[in-house]
Amino acid sequence: MKFTERLKTLRKEFKMSQPKLAEASGVPVGSIRSMERGKRRPRLTNLLRLSRVLGGSMSIWDGLELEPDKQEAKAAAPVVAGFKSH
């Protein structure tokens, strides 16, 4: 399961809207929206905050696949291409 799916599933299991999760966790609602859409990877501090609200432990994220940040992937593409050509 991908992080985006897990976050949304947990939020719904706790019957929380994005604004309610933001209020309870201290993570900005815009960040939660972006994380659920896969447009932003979570920062460690935000993972900790979300964990406290959605399960109490970082173990709720065990085994999840974090999607690469789209901006980071685009910036890294020329570097990766350089490695592949050698």
User: Which class is domain 3-84?
Assistant: mainly alpha
Instruction: Give the predicted TM-score (pTM) of the model.
Output: 0.70
End-to-end alpha carbon distance in the chain:
34
Q: What mean pLDDT is reported for the chain?
A: 82
pLDDT of residue 62: 73
pLDDT of residue 42: 84
pLDDT at residue 17 tops 70: yes
Could you report the per-residue pLDDT of 39-57, keeping only the tens digit for each?
A: 888 888 998 899 999 987 7
Q: How far apart are alpha carbons 52 and 73 in whole angstroms?
A: 29
Take residue 43 and report the two structure tokens written for it: 């920062």
